Amino acid sequence: MKRIRGGAAARSRADIRLPAAADPGKPVPAGTDPGFVTGNADFYRVDTALTVPRIDPGSWELRIHGMVGDEMRLSFDDLLRRPLVERVMTLNCVSNEVGGPYIGTAKWLGVPLAPLLSEAGIRPGADQIVARSAEGMTIGTPTATALDGRDTMLVVGMNGEPLPLEHGFPVRMLTPGLYGYAGACKWLTELELTTFAKFDAYWVERGWSAEGPVKTASRIDKPKPFARPAAGPVTVAGVAWAQRRGVKAVEISVDGGDWKPAELLPVPSIDTWVQWRYSWKATSGPHSLSVRATDRTGAAQTAARATPFPNGATGLHTITVTVA
Ligand SMILES: Nc1nc2c(c(=O)[nH]1)N[C@H]1C(S)=C(S)[C@@H](COP(=O)(O)O)O[C@H]1N2
Ligand SMILES: [Mo]
């Protein structure tokens, strides 16, 4: 695979005309607030790349190998000739602190991984897919998450554009329900079917959990911490997420008092965040506001504080404001 100079990579990205999705999925429903979909320029970026890999899509190749019946090699055009699906999905980073910014939602265009794997023929026992990237990252994903019906895909488009260079151009993986380090390899070049017993991916070697299911979490975006709103009705708003399970309820507690239900705005699927809002009758003085989400299995977010290491932060997002 050839690497090309920055300008040339940017030109070839601009030249790409992505086919329309054969399966466009559910659109973002009416009634969401602006910001439900994160713009590409605003989407968080987390990677170890010192310089953004610049890959020529014309010579890019994906190799699917390891514990498979038939090794496969696919060009970028081979991928684009397959039926594409489009899905709105939320991606977040395991290193996000409670209340942190490393989460975003986009409309992803890609090739479902399951049919590719069944063409390659997975050998019994291959419980891990190790994705390798152009710059040497390895990301291990449970094989089951590519086969259990979720929209695990090889992504070529983000919000109606070819994948931006920083987000993995020309092809990245995305696994709904898993943190990025466990399912979302950017600048993808290889998928190796292997086992968790045989191989530790990059972050797993550094002590992070081998499997990275997303924990239920929620965040207050409005008002901002230390804001000074006027007394009277104040809209408290934010997002909550529990990809694969979905969010059933979001509740707010003022000054550690009873949990009160927030209103949930509509979602396209269980694989996106949900926007919530709560009308607070603010009284003068300092107040704390806390948020907690409950997923559709009925499990409430734990208040117990845990650091992001080794498998994602827990604890409730709490902010302090002073009402004038
Ligand atoms: N090649 C490569 N892919 C990667 C990473 C990386 O460092 N290198 N970081 C992962 C992590 S930790 C996350 S959270 C997501 C972030 O994707 P984004 O930068 O497009 O938001 O990419 C994942 N894929
Ligand atoms: Mo991450």
Q: What is the pLDDT of residues 32-76, one digit of tens each?
A: 999 999 999 999 999 999 999 999 999 999 999 999 999 999 999
How many angstroms separate the alpha carbon of residue 181 from the centre of ligand 1? Answer: 6
Start-to-end CA span in the chain (Å)? 61
Protein residue closest via CA to atom 5 of ligand 1: 47
The protein residues having their C-beta less than 5 angstroms from ligand 2 (an ion) are 46, 93, 180-181
Q: Ligand 1 centre and the CA of 230: distance in Å?
A: 41
Which are the contacts of 167, defined by CB distance < 8 A and separation ≥ 6? 40, 43, 45, 158, 186
Gap between the Cα atoms of 262 and 229, Å rounded: 19
Per-residue pLDDT tens over the stretch 128-164:
999 999 999 999 999 999 999 999 999 999 999 999 9
pLDDT at 9: 58
Task: Specify the residue with its C-alpha closest to ligand 1, atom 15.
Answer: 180
Mean pLDDT over all residues of the chain? 96
Of ligand 1's listed atoms, the one at least distance from the Cα of 168 is 20
Mean pLDDT of 77-86: 98
H helices of the chain, where?
6-15, 76-81, 113-120, 144-147, 202-205
What pLDDT sits at residue 124? 98
Pocket of ligand 1 (CB under 6 A): 43-49, 91, 93, 133, 137, 139, 167, 180-181, 184-187
Residue 315 has pLDDT above 90, yes or no: yes
Residues whose CB falls within 8 Å of the CB of residue 34, separated by 6 or more in sequence, listed in order: none
Report whether pLDDT(3) > 90: no
Domains of the chain: 6-205 (3.90.420.10), 217-323 (2.60.40.650)
In the predicted model, is pLDDT for residue 5 greater than 80? Answer: no
Local structure of residue 19 (DSSP, 8 states): P
Which ligand has the shortest distance to the CA of 138? 1
Side chain identity, residue 220? I
Q: What is the dihedral of CA 144, 173, 121, 128, to 10 degrees?
A: -50
> Cα–chain-centroid distance for residue 53?
20
Q: Name residue 105's beta-bridge partners.
A: 90
Q: Predicted confidence band at 12 (pLDDT cuts at 50, 70, 90)? A: confident
pTM for this predicted structure: 0.96
From the number of C-beta atoms within 10 Å of its C-beta (0-12, 13-18, 19+), residue 324 rates as exposed
